[in-house]
Structure formats: C-alpha cells, structure tokens
A and B are shown apart, each in its own frame.
Chain A
C-alpha cells in the first residue's frame, strides 16, 4: 500500500499570502497524483491531476508540481475562499487507492 504523508497538518496564513503544501509518497508513484480541496460540509473538489494538470474551472493561482515521491501544491495568493482542507491522492498502485491525511489551510 502506498502511504501518502502530507505536511504540514495545519498552515496558518493571511489572504494574499502564498501557500505551499507537501505530499510525500512511501514509494515512487510517477506523476499519478491528484489534489482535492474540501470545505466544511462539502464534498471534495478535484483541483489538480497527474501532479500538475489543473482540472476544469480551477483558477490559475493553483498549481502542482513533483514526481516520484515528492509533490507540492502551491496557491500563489490566497483568496478567502481558499481556506479549506487539501488532500492528495495516488492512483498508481491500487487497490487500495490512498489519500493523504490532509492539510488544513486556516486564516491567521
């Protein structure tokens, strides 16, 4: 099973600041990693797939990078609606599909 470790668990930032979220895989997963955003009381929303491809209707301030075991989600300038929990998920080796534990981006 591929274990995904996200860091930090919580990121406290102000609107307009840059957010950098990390996801580390327990073994190489090539580029088959996705990022999701989840707001309280809502379903997850796909942001990034295949490490760096933005999903439909996702603003350009969201970008992904990485390959192998190290991946990053960057939000260049936080908008008020970006404060949420972010999950990474791999699809290279499954079952099982696995998610990271999440990073909460909160308002400082």
Chain B
C-alpha cells in the first residue's frame, strides 16, 4: 500500500528527498506522516501533512530543515531534507493517517537514510 524510496548515504550538510507512493486507498482523502527510527532506538514523529496539503506540521528537531509535500495526482508524498547531520540517520517510515487525525493504520516498510562522511 505504501512504498518509500529515496534513502541512501549522504554527507553531513547534504540534502535528500524521500518519496512515498500510495495505492489501495483514496490517497487524496487521507493525511500522511513521516516517522523515523534511529538505529536501535524508538519511534520519532517527524512531519505530517493534511489530505489537501494545506496544513503541514513538523517536529522541532527538523523544523526549518525538512519540508513535507504531496502530489495527489501522483498518489505520492515527499520529505525534502536539508542540512542533514548524523542525528538524522534513521529508517524513515511513511504512514497513512487512520482518519482519526493522529494515529496510523498503514505503514511503509521504511527507507534507510545514513548521514556520514
């Protein structure tokens, strides 16, 4: 249902854009979210976007550096990440909002972002 792409190795200070393609549901009706998990650590909410894309929300740790966006015609949403540091190294999961605004009933398998020189 959800398939992430775009992860990889990037140098500190670099940029990367993650994509999450959706299928099997009416993408344009659901808010979407990025959650990350550093190696061996717990889950951390990163960013969310409303169904229309008109509202976006960010964790303080990424505000000003990451931008979430979506293209409802392509059933895809994105996370553009800049000024990356080692602390951003994690598996990034995309997740579909359940409709209750703030919990997630479908998740992608994740894409690994490694920030290292």
Residues of chain A having any CB pair with chain B under 8 Å: 32, 34, 36, 38, 42-46, 49-50, 55-56, 87, 89, 91, 94-102
Contacts between the two chains (Cβ within 8 Å), count: 59
**Once the chains bind, are B105 and A97 in contact (CB under 8 Å)?**
no
Q: Of B8-16, B57-65, B76-84, which stretch is located at the interface?
A: B57-65
Q: How far is the CA of A100 from the CA of B42 in the complex (A)?
A: 8
What are 21 A-B contacts with C-beta separation under 8 Å? A34-B103, A42-B109, A43-B93, A43-B108, A43-B109, A43-B110, A44-B35, A49-B100, A87-B43, A91-B100, A94-B57, A95-B48, A95-B59, A96-B45, A96-B60, A97-B33, A97-B45, A97-B48, A100-B42, A102-B42, A102-B43
Nearest CB in chain A: distance from B58 CB, A: 7
**Once the chains bind, are A43 and B107 in contact (CB under 8 Å)?**
yes
Q: How far is the CA of A44 from the CA of B104 in the complex (A)?
A: 9
Q: How far is the CA of A56 from the CA of B60 in the complex (A)?
A: 32
The count of residues in chain B whose C-beta lies closer than 8 Å to any C-beta of chain A is 23
Q: How far is the CA of A91 from the CA of B104 in the complex (A)?
A: 10
Q: How far is the CA of A87 from the CA of B35 in the complex (A)?
A: 13
Q: Is B98 an interface position by the 8 A CB rule? A: yes
**Once the chains bind, are B98 and A44 in contact (CB under 8 Å)?**
no
CB-CB under 8 A from A94, the residues of chain B are: 45, 57, 102
Q: Select B100's contact among A50, A96, A100, beta carbons within 8 Å.
A: A50
